[in-house]
Structure 1
């Protein structure tokens, strides 16, 4: 396995940022929308940091994973799994479906696509 340190560094910074947002930000934009935007970038950089997957396959996989998880929230997956009393599960998995989350995930993926193709075009090949 080859580690890609630049991606892992970005992933670590984003993970710390996400934790700080979850612990200290209690607003109606940064935590729900900004957090979902950043989580796509976090997942993408984590996968790219630990694998040899290319830009498009990683981005599509991360985006589909996020869409599926959001859809499972619509069906109350946390309760179905019996995890409703476990706060970390409620935060990580989520407890309700929101179209705004889908838009934030999509915006995060578009951001990754723009950054990767604009600043390092060889990655998209």
Structure 2
């Protein structure tokens, strides 16, 4: 692993961040907001890390998938309460508070998008 800077991945990160914010603020449907947002968050994290890291990209993508799935599993255990953040709207939004198998599927789809489009 080596520190670097990639303007390409910074641009991808910022574009996805803007899309995520717009989805969260303006879209209140039953598919794109819950599923599409979760697909994009995996790609968002990957793009952010690739902005500053040069590493084995397949391992990085897999690590992000595992991380996202662990966070989802911790949601099933109501881990936000462990830290006393259950009344903090920002932390609940960032960390999530409800477990869903569909979220795990969304993270895997995000991982596949990374593998197919961003890894070279």
| TM-score bucket of the superposed structures, by smaller chain | over 0.9
- Superposition pairs for residues 1-125 of structure 1, below 5 Å? 1-116=3-118, 123=120
Equivalent pairs counted in the alignment come to 118
5+ residue gaps, structure 1: 118-122
Distance 2:112 2:12 in 1: 17
Stretch moving more, 93-102 or 53-62 = 53-62
Provide runs of 4+ in structure 1 moved above 2 Å.
Answer: none
Distance 1:17 1:116 in 2: 18
TM-score, reference length from structure 1: 0.90
1:116 Cα deviation after fit: 3.0
1:65 Cα deviation after fit: 0.7
1:78 Cα deviation after fit: 1.0
1:54 Cα deviation after fit: 2.3
Distance 1:62 1:94 in 2: 16
Distance 1:88 1:23 in 2: 13
